């Protein structure tokens, strides 16, 4: 169970993301830099209790229209070997000391727990409270491709609105799956991709205070 510490981080999450987001292919802001505000999200627990896992929604109001982005984050007490492309930055945590903060699509702990959520083996947690499930996070769809053998991540490919993570079974034989992590969030329940599979739906708050609800992640299976 993740413990939420009421403390400081320097630099803060939004400060780190303000420098990182404009470098992403799915960023839709202008050249003047983002104006970010936290807009929602949820957490998942690491069964080993070592890695913090947060699905953070931030809204950028710098452009003509506000855009909400999903940034899955992991917080680690040491660098993650082989995940240099996913490093967002480091920050000094008031309780835990230095933390290495990663784009979670590149972190196997986050990917495996997201697959567990899609399979119904774990429960989304409140973003801001310890040991408090978030009942507003939904998992919908058919069960194809959520068997226990799936693990990840594999390759990560960014598109104009999502990150595609290739995941597969522990052994060399079995289905190859694409885990789609939405980046540009859209209000509505349509899956972030075509075909059978399961999807995670969750909410966030628009700048005018209204609630939005859409697909955070989608798992589709193909034979390979």
Q: What is the pLDDT along the chain (224 residues), one digit of tens a residue?
A: 555 555 677 788 999 999 999 999 999 987 788 999 999 999 999 999 999 999 999 999 998 899 999 999 999 999 999 898 999 999 987 666 789 999 999 999 999 999 999 989 999 999 988 789 999 999 998 754 445 455 656 789 999 999 999 887 655 566 678 899 999 999 986 554 445 678 999 999 999 999 999 999 999 765 54
Reduce the DSSP state of residue 129 to 3 states and report it.
Answer: coil
Q: Say what the pLDDT of residue 192 is.
A: 47
Name the pTM for this structure: 0.89
Q: Say what the pLDDT of residue 202 is.
A: 97
- CA dist 139 → 30, 112, 167, 191, 214 (Å): 34, 16, 19, 11, 11
Query: Tokens 């630099």, residue?
Result: 11
Q: How is residue 6 written in tokens?
A: 């009421």
> In sequence order, what are the residues at sequence separation of 6 or more whose Cβ sits closer than 8 angstroms to the Cβ of residue 23?
none
Q: How is residue 80 written in tokens?
A: 């993650």
Q: Say what the pLDDT of residue 13 is.
A: 93
Q: How is residue 90 written in tokens?
A: 């480091």
Q: Say what the pLDDT of residue 207 is.
A: 93
Q: Say what the pLDDT of residue 95 is.
A: 65
Question: What is the phi/psi pair of residue 41, to 5°?
Answer: 135, -170
């Amino acid at each position: 169970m993740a413990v939420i510490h009421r403390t400081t981080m320097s630099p803060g999450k939004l400060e780190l993301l303000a420098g990182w987001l404009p470098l992403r292919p799915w960023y839709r802001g202008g050249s003047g830099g983002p104006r970010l505000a936290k807009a929602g999200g949820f957490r998942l627990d690491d069964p080993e209790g070592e890695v913090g896992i947060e699905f953070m929604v931030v809204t950028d109001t710098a452009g003509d229209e506000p855009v909400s982005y999903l940034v899955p984050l992991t917080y680690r007490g040491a660098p993650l070997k082989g995940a240099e492309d996913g490093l967002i930055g480091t920050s000094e945590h008031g309780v835990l000391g230095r933390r290495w903060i990663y784009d979670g699509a590149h972190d196997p702990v986050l990917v495996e727990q997201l697959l567990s959520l899609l399979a119904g083996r774990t429960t989304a947690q409140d973003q801001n409270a310890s040991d408090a499930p978030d009942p507003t996070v939904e998992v919908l769809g058919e069960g194809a491709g959520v068997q226990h053998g799936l693990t990840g991540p594999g390759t990560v490919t960014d598109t104009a609105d999502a990150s595609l993570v290739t995941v597969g079974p522990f052994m060399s034989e079995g289905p190859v799956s694409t885990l789609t992590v939405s980046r540009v969030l859209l209000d509505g329940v349509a899956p972030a991709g075509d075909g059978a599979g399961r999807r995670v739906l969750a909410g966030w708050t628009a700048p005018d205070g209204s609630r939005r609800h859409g697909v955070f992640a989608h798992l589709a299976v193909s034979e390979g």
